[in-house]
Amino acid sequence: MSLKTHTQTLRTTLHPSSLHPGAASPLIPPDFTPTTELSVSFSSRAVELGTFFRAGECKAAPRISFPPEADSSVAVGETSYTFILTDPDAPTPDDPKFAFWRHWVVAGLKPGIYEENGEGEGRTLTKYLGPGPKDDSKPHRYLFLLYREPPNFTITPTDVGGEEFVQRRSFRPDEFAARHGLKLVGVNWMTCAGDGWVAPSPEEK
């Protein structure tokens, strides 16, 4: 998919999903145009701007990849990136009082492929904890956000927050990005339900 097509698809899927405008509005600027295509996949299954998954498919950290930015002012090889996976629907879409829940944060990424404990360069700031919506909850939406780091960027896990379950609640990627000079350059998203969730029949919707 070309970056232009990716951009058009991103915009057309965010609106009907009520992500933008909506739950993700604080995170994604109104005029946001990605400068790279952020690809994410669980095993061999790709996240394609709204793909539906079950929690059991997301137990292990996904593979991340992205090409160099389509921005001539960015020095390829000298620029690194921070990746955030967050849930705007925690604990449930009907009562997202813990949005945005912090699932995974990795800094120091370079264009190319990154796999936890595998290929690519990156520093884990928050350990991966897969989506876990309850079986009686509507599917949650999950946002994958890629930010360009400023020159000489340094950060520690403490700067992000603790690893405990309750410490991951109410994390604001937009405020975190503003505080550390990060610029949003790529977005992807998916939905996920519990393994036992049953989709309502057309009559029940």
DSSP symbol at 69: P
In order of 145, 164, 172, 174, 178, the CA distances from 27 in angstroms are: 9, 23, 8, 5, 10
Question: What ranges do the domains of the chain cover?
Answer: 39-70+77-193
DSSP β-bridge partners for residue 112: 66
Task: Name which of 151, 142, 54 is nearest 104 in CA terms.
Answer: 142
Query: What is the reported pLDDT for 101?
Result: 94
Alpha carbons 184 and 175: distance in angstroms, whole number: 12
Q: What is the mean pLDDT of the chain?
A: 89
Distance, CA of 54 to CA of 132 (rounded, Å): 9
Model confidence over 38-95: pLDDT tens digits?
999 999 899 999 999 999 999 999 999 999 998 767 777 789 999 999 999 999 888 8
Q: How confident is the model at residue 22 (pLDDT cuts 50, 70, 90)?
A: low
Task: Please report which residue ranges of the chain form alpha helices under DSSP H.
Answer: 3-14, 157-160, 173-180
Return the CATH superfamily for domain 39-70+77-193: PEBP-like (3.90.280.10)
Model confidence over 178-191: pLDDT tens digits?
Answer: 999 999 999 999 99
pTM: 0.92
